[in-house]
Chains A and B, each alone.
Chain A
Amino acid sequence: MTTLKTHLYDEHVKLGAKIVPFAGWDMPVQYSSVKDEVLAVRQNVGVFDVSHMGEFFIEGDDAEEFAEYLVTNEISSAPYGKAIYSPLCRENGTVIDDLIIYKLSPNRVLICVNASNIEKDFSWIKAKHEGFKCQLTNRSEEFSLIALQGPKALETLKPLVGDLPDLEYYSVTETSYEGLPVIIARTGYTGEDGFEIFGGHETILAFWQKLMSLKVMPCGLAARDVLRLEVCYPLYGHELGDELTPYDAGLGWTVKGQKTKFIGKDALASKPAKYKLVKLILDKGIPREGYNVLNSQNEVIGQITSGTMSVVLNKGIALARIQIDKAPTDDLFLVDIRQKAYPAQLTKKPFVTGGHK
């Protein structure tokens, strides 16, 4: 299978990015240094090309009702212009994907999905579409997407976009850049304040080049992964997957059982969680995906789903999936790193507090 390239690919090459295959795409994993890129986003501002992600539109009288039926989180109670994070589940409660639903206007909804799940999500959603009066279109190939993230994202963006209303965190607006339509949302995957900018390929290319001329730090997927893990955002294929329910990934807050009807409602009401997702910090050793997690009797109780060295804390951090019937009551965890057991502290709060508004 040949890999796909985003419309910004040549820009990445010019910037000297290291390119790796990711979800079928050739994507920039890092430009300068992962550490510098993470710190740019935590302290200043950075920009990511995330054009590989998918964009679906639901338009028509039943657009909102259809979205409400598809996902576990609540859509209708949010005003227009809001964004809602939600898992997309099957009838049995397992997670097809996690996505962001943007309520653009009455009868118009944008869904942003993971690159690796575009086909799977679209065919699922299409199959559930019957009976709803709305149009469903996969416009992933028409859109480029960049994420401008960091405490200085707003002051960077504001002079570039003539008509930028005051957006709250997790809100969205349709506006223009240099006379061309863009959708700007105050969302992201870093825990910092920031914006995601959807637009046509040439529009986003011009936007990216403008940001480069302003010396905004280009950031790759490696920094993005560290940033999201520091603030404990789940990643599909790691914390979430086809065999897991939202409860298995600590996403119980996104399941709104009081909604009258949604796919997976019955199963999620009756199915107990099999796993618990825990946050672990190590003073010594770096936990990595797939490493075993042990209790104080050295019994395997689960696995690391994502692990890295935290740039902010300078310590090993990880999310781990623990079998719920084996969750230790003493909160003592060990991580098996190359046949050596390293103590890990359980923490309830995210490792790093992002500065998002």
Chain B
Amino acid sequence: MATNIPANLKYTKEHEWTLIEGDVVTVGITDFAQSALGDIVFLEVPEVGTHLNNGSTFGVVESIKSVSDLYSPITGEVVAKNSDLEGSPEKINEDAYGSWLIKVKVKDLGELNNLLSPEQYQEFCNTSH
């Protein structure tokens, strides 16, 4: 499956993208994920101030026919959420990398080493589906 994987981002096996800027990580879902989900109709993300643990669920994204959990790629505190998206979640289908969900202030920068490079993520997409 051909998919769009920007080189400046890091990825997770849960099909999330992350943009690392200092100790703040911006999180969204990948083009692969939005394509697999289909028409996205509902998004729920945590409020600013919420503490997230690496690997724990932090929200849900729903298409017409499915519900999928969102998993936090890092441990830290939510410092911003994209409120615009909750009213128009279909923007994720239109532009997955332009549609960030939350920004997280990272507790342990060492955790960022666990994220996948674009090449690793491409490989993961190729082999897992």
CB distance A309 to B64 under 8 Å?
A: yes
CB distance B64 to A288 under 8 Å?
A: no
Q: Which A237-294 residues have a C-beta within 8 angstroms of B?
A: 285-286, 288
Decide: A35 near B67, CB < 8 A? Known: A286-B41, A286-B42, A309-B41.
Answer: no
Residues of B at the A interface (CB closer than 8 Å) are: 38-39, 41-42, 44, 60, 62-65, 67
Instruction: Kindly list chain B residues whose C-beta atoms are within 8 Å of the C-beta of A308.
Output: 64-65
Instruction: Kindly list chain A residues whose C-beta atoms are within 8 Å of the C-beta of B42.
Output: 285-286, 309
A33 an interface residue at 8 Å Cβ cutoff?
yes
Instruction: Kindly list chain A residues whose C-beta atoms are within 8 Å of the C-beta of B41.
Output: 286, 309, 314
A113 to B73: give the CA distance in the assembly, Å.
47
A320 an interface residue at 8 Å Cβ cutoff?
no
A245 to B46: give the CA distance in the assembly, Å.
43
A34 an interface residue at 8 Å Cβ cutoff?
yes
CB distance A286 to B62 under 8 Å?
A: yes
A288 to B66: give the CA distance in the assembly, Å.
9
Instruction: Provide a sorted-by-A list of 24 A–B residue pairs whose CB atoms are within 8 angstroms.
Output: A29-B65, A30-B38, A33-B38, A33-B39, A34-B39, A34-B63, A34-B64, A34-B65, A35-B39, A222-B38, A222-B64, A225-B65, A226-B64, A226-B65, A285-B42, A286-B41, A286-B62, A286-B67, A308-B64, A308-B65, A309-B41, A309-B64, A314-B41, A338-B44
Question: What 7 pairs between A and B have smallest CB-CB spacing?
Answer: A309-B41, A35-B39, A34-B64, A222-B65, A309-B64, A286-B42, A33-B39
Instruction: Kindly list chain A residues whose C-beta atoms are within 8 Å of the C-beta of B39.
Output: 33-35
A70 an interface residue at 8 Å Cβ cutoff?
no
- A230 smallest CB distance to B (angstroms): 11
A30 to B38: give the CA distance in the assembly, Å.
9
Q: Is the interface of A mostly helix, strand, loop or mixed?
A: mixed
Instruction: Kindly list chain A residues whose C-beta atoms are within 8 Å of the C-beta of B63.
Output: 34
A288 to B41: give the CA distance in the assembly, Å.
13
- The proximity string for A residues 132-169 relative to B, scoring 1 for CB distances below 8 Å and 0 otherwise, is 00000000000000000000000000000000000000
Residues of A at the B interface (CB closer than 8 Å) are: 29-30, 33-35, 222, 225-226, 285-286, 288, 308-309, 311, 314, 338
CB distance A338 to B60 under 8 Å?
A: yes
- A276 smallest CB distance to B (angstroms): 26
- A316 smallest CB distance to B (angstroms): 8
Instruction: Kindly list chain B residues whose C-beta atoms are within 8 Å of the C-beta of A288.
Output: 67
- B114 smallest CB distance to A (angstroms): 27
Contact of A35 among B44, B60, B62, B64 (CB under 8 A): B64
Instruction: Kindly list chain B residues whose C-beta atoms are within 8 Å of the C-beta of A314.
Output: 41
Instruction: Kindly list chain B residues whose C-beta atoms are within 8 Å of the C-beta of A285.
Output: 42
Given A34-B39, A222-B38, A338-B44, 5 additional A-B pairs, CB 8 A:
A34-B38, A34-B63, A286-B62, A286-B67, A308-B65
A314 to B40: give the CA distance in the assembly, Å.
12
A314 to B42: give the CA distance in the assembly, Å.
10
Instruction: Kindly list chain B residues whose C-beta atoms are within 8 Å of the C-beta of A35.
Output: 39, 64
Residue of A at shortest CB range from B65?
A: A222
A309 to B62: give the CA distance in the assembly, Å.
9
- A311 smallest CB distance to B (angstroms): 7
Residue of A at shortest CB range from B39?
A: A35
A35 to B38: give the CA distance in the assembly, Å.
9
- A190 smallest CB distance to B (angstroms): 15
Instruction: Kindly list chain B residues whose C-beta atoms are within 8 Å of the C-beta of A34.
Output: 38-39, 63-65
Instruction: Kindly list chain B residues whose C-beta atoms are within 8 Å of the C-beta of A222.
Output: 38, 64-65
A226 to B63: give the CA distance in the assembly, Å.
12
Instruction: Kindly list chain A residues whose C-beta atoms are within 8 Å of the C-beta of B38.
Output: 30, 33-34, 222
